[in-house]
Structure formats: structure tokens, C-alpha cells
Chain A
Amino acid sequence: DAGITQSPRHKVTETGTPVTLRCHQTENHRYMYWYRQDPGHGLRLIHYSYGVKDTDKGEVSDGYSVSRSKTEDFLLTLESATSSQTSVYFCAMASGGFSDTQYFGPGTRLTVL
């Protein structure tokens, strides 16, 4: 099922350019998350949202910002991409709270040259 999608699925960009990744859900879930997955680091939380316009920082938020103007969309922006932000980015959603089961999107592979 495609209750949560991410776009683009792949992106190559250059250092210093802004990049926005989009997460879209159709389940009306309140909680949404952005993670990055890197070899040797597992899944690390970048930012999360617990409602429209309600967001907070995660473990690795430096260099990233987020916005949530509608329940269904959670945007992750890299203001000025750096090579250290080359990663696979996953979005997730949950309905009932922080310990509720999270449902993940398919991921976006971002390469910063």
C-alpha cells in the first residue's frame, strides 16, 4: 500500500544548493518523522512533527529545517547541501504517539557532489 510516499526517490545535487524532500501521507496521521540512514549509524532522527505547524529537533538536526503546513505533507529542507548530507532519507508516520508503530516511506537517496 502507498499510505506514505516520498519524492523525489533519487536526487543528485551540488554542494551549496538548497534541496527540499517531500513526504506525503494519506492516513491523516498526526505524527511524522524524518530520519537519515548511514552505514555504521543506523537510523538517526533529524526532525519530527506532532501536528500541523508543531515540529521539533531530533538527534541530527543541524543543517536541516522542516515545515508542516498540512497534516499530509512534511517537508525536509537542506538550506545549503554539503557532502556530509549524502544519505538515504526516510520519512515515517504514526497515529497515536511517540511509541506508536511507525510506518515508513520508501526512502530518498540523496547524493551531494
Chain B
Amino acid sequence: DQQVKQNSPSLSVQEGRISILNCDYTNSMFDYFLWYKKYPAEGPTFLISISSIKDKNEDGRFTVFLNKSAKHLSLHIVPSQPGDSAVYFCAASRSGNTPLVFGKGTRLSVIA
């Protein structure tokens, strides 16, 4: 049973606009969430994280929002750039006691 779901396999956005990638989770015990970015033929790289004690975390153009009651998080990229075109994975952990659980990923294409 999938505990971390990324229901949009792909997303296409124009350069300069906002990209919003969504992630839902089913395990209410998850309390730490991360986003990873993956380019073709490379390993995933860490992008941004958020703890359940927060509802927002920002790092430059990237912001992650967490809605615990809805068990939903989203990654906002503003403004989107062609170099942001990649697959984005959402991941979750439970109090650091269990390995990360990854979603299936969303492929973002930023069109110039």
C-alpha cells in the first residue's frame, strides 16, 4: 500500500511561472518530509525538507508547504526556470526511526 503518493506523473509549466508539485501521505506518524530532484542519468539530490512542527519552509525559489490535517505537502518553485526540468520525488520519515518512503515522482518540464 502506497504511503506516499504523487498523483501527477508529469507537469508542464512556462518559464517564469510558478510550478506546484503535490504530495499526499497516508501515515499520520510521518513527521519529516523531504523533496529530492533527479536529472536523467544522475542520482537524486536533496532539495528541501520540512518538519511537522512547521507548516512552511523556504529556500530561495523553493518553498515547501505542509498541511498536516490534510496529510498533504506541496513544493512551489517561483519563478520556474528551464534548469528546473527534472523528476521530483517526495519522501517521508517517521521520527527518524524508519527509512524514508519515497513517492513515485513527478516529471516537471519548464518550457522556455
A residues engaging B (CB < 8 A)? 33, 35, 40-45, 48, 58, 90, 92, 97-107
Contact = CB atoms under 8 A, between A and B. Distances in A.
Interface string B1-33: 000001000000000000000000000000010
22 contacts: A33-B99, A41-B104, A42-B102, A45-B99, A45-B101, A45-B102, A58-B99, A90-B44, A98-B96, A98-B100, A99-B32, A100-B96, A101-B49, A102-B46, A103-B45, A104-B43, A105-B43, A106-B41, A106-B42, A107-B41, A107-B42, A107-B43
Contacts of B46: 101-103
B43 A90 contact: yes
B63 to A, nearest CB: 18
A47 to B, nearest CB: 10
Contacts of B43: 90, 92, 104-107
Contacts of B99: 33, 45, 48, 58, 98
A40 to B, nearest CB: 7
By size class, the interface of chain B is: 20 to 34
Contacts of B97: 98
A8 B80 CA distance: 35
B32 A43 contact: no
Contact of B96 (A43, A99, A104): A99
A99 B103 contact: no
| Residue from the set B6, B89, B104 with the largest chain A CB neighbour count within 10 Å | B104
Given A44-B102, A90-B43, A98-B96, 10 more contacts: A42-B89, A42-B103, A42-B105, A43-B105, A48-B99, A90-B44, A98-B93, A98-B99, A104-B44, A106-B43
